[in-house]
Amino acid sequence: MSGTLYVVATPIGNLEDMSYRAVRILEEVAQIAAEDTRHSRKLLNHYGITTALISYHEHNEKSRSPQLIARLQAGESLALISDAGTPCIADPGYRLVSECRQAGLEVVTVPGASALIAALSISGLPTDAFSFIGFLPAKTHGRCQLLEQVKNESQTIACYEAPHRLLASLTDIATTCGADRQIAVARELTKRHEELFSGSVSEAQEHFAAGTVKGEIVLLLSPAPQRKPDGTVSEELQRLREETDLSWKEIVKQVAKQFGLPGSDVYKKSLELR
Ligand code: SAM
């Protein structure tokens, strides 16, 4: 019998946000693969968990995966944790999970905290649909390029951001998406200095320029105001081509959504213009 890989969420700040099941599984498995073993040892000590740890991070995941898979195939059950929150969400683990699945091994989730979902749930922004775009690129050029791609999305856009880049990112968001766009900045969730700022981008700039921004941050952008296009499908395709940096594929997708048409119809129209 092969073992099971448990993908276990750990708290994002408040140690009480650990499930009973997570504690039990982490006690029962043969070994826990962790991003930073020293960091995780401290966390596990808090719950009295003494299971052995092995490092699994972005720099060794390629070489480590076969080793972990061999142990699972030999019948040992293992757990995967990250420094905080849910593994594989902007954290290492995806490769291991994918390889386990390919090898026919059982992968089981032990869900819990994730900064992304925690932030969304208290943001007051629409949650029926959202796009998570990971960390915003560190440099203005890359950031603006990505923001251009997502700024017209009709769903909430969520991303992770480092505190020292927040103001620069807000500047780029104001430039690409407009200073009036609604935004939520979730900072230090579940911790002593938890804050949820909600307002326009320009209000956020003013608020966060007042002091040094510290702590961990999730940024959420409200969906783009969906204006019903004035012109025809062809005119809207042409307009987006001229006024944005979007690819034809993205333009077709957006126009299809705006007009409520099948993508294939809009694609055919776009061919006439290319
Ligand atoms: N896998 C994790 C999860 O599910 O929450 C996220 C890992 S990612 C490497 C870490 C980033 O998540 C931080 O840089 C920050 O943007 C966000 N984050 C983590 N904890 C947070 C918290 N308590 N409050 C706000 N954002 C947090």
pLDDT for position 53: 98
Q: Residue 95, Cβ neighbours under 10 Å: how many?
A: 15
* Domain span(s) for CATH 3.30.950.10 in the chain: 116-221
For residue 159, report the distance from its CA to the centre of ligand 1, in Å: 10
**Does 83 contact ligand 1 (Cβ within 6 A)?**
no
pLDDT (tens digit, 9 = 90+) per residue, 37-70? 999 999 999 999 999 999 999 999 999 999 999 9
Structure confidence by residue, pLDDT tens digits, 107-131: 999 999 999 999 999 999 999 999 9
Cα separation of 181 and 223, whole Å?
A: 9
Q: How many CB atoms lie within 10 A of CB 266?
A: 22
Report residue 34's pLDDT band, with 50, 70 and 90 as the boundaries. very high
29 Cβ below 6 A of ligand 1: no
Does residue 89 have its Cβ closer than 6 Å to ligand 1?
Answer: yes
User: Which residue puts its alpha carbon closest to atom 8 of ligand 1?
Assistant: 90
Segment 138-143 mean pLDDT: 96
CATH 3.40.1010.10 residue ranges for the chain: 4-113
The CATH architecture one would assign to domain 4-113 is 3-Layer(aba) Sandwich (3.40)
Report CA(113)–ligand 1 centroid distance (Å): 10
Closest atom, ligand 1, to C-alpha of 160: 16
Whether 28 has a pLDDT exceeding 90, the answer reads yes
Atom of ligand 1 nearest to the CA of 135: 16
Letter string b/e over residues 22-54, b meaning 16 or more CB atoms within 10 A of that residue's CB:
bbebbeebbebbbbebeebeebbeeeebeeebb
State the Cα–Cα distance between residues 161 and 150, nearest whole angstrom.
Answer: 16
- Pick the range with the lowest mean pLDDT from 35-44, 146-155, 224-233: 224-233
pLDDT of residue 190: 98
- Is CATH 3.40.50.300 correct for 116-221? no
Pocket lining: 86 vs ligand 1, CB cutoff 6 Å: yes
Ligand 1 atom showing the smallest separation from residue 119 Cα: 25
The pTM assigned to this predicted structure is 0.85
What spacing in Å lies between the alpha carbon of 90 and ligand 1's midpoint?
Answer: 8
Q: How confident is the model at residue 274 (pLDDT cuts 50, 70, 90)?
A: confident
In the predicted model, what is the mean pLDDT of residues 160-174? Answer: 97
Residue 77 pLDDT level (bands cut at 50, 70, 90)? very high
Min mean pLDDT across 20-34, 43-57, 219-233 is at 219-233
191 CA to centre of ligand 1 in angstroms: 12
82 pocket-lining for ligand 1 (C-beta < 6 Å): yes
For the Cβ of 13 lying below 6 angstroms from any atom of ligand 1, the answer is yes
Find out whether the beta carbon of 93 lies less than 6 Å from any atom of ligand 1: no
Encode 152-180: b = buried (16+ Cβ within 10 Å), e = exposed. Answer: bbebbbbbbbeeebbeebbbbbbebbeee
- Is the pLDDT at 35 greater than 80? The verdict is yes
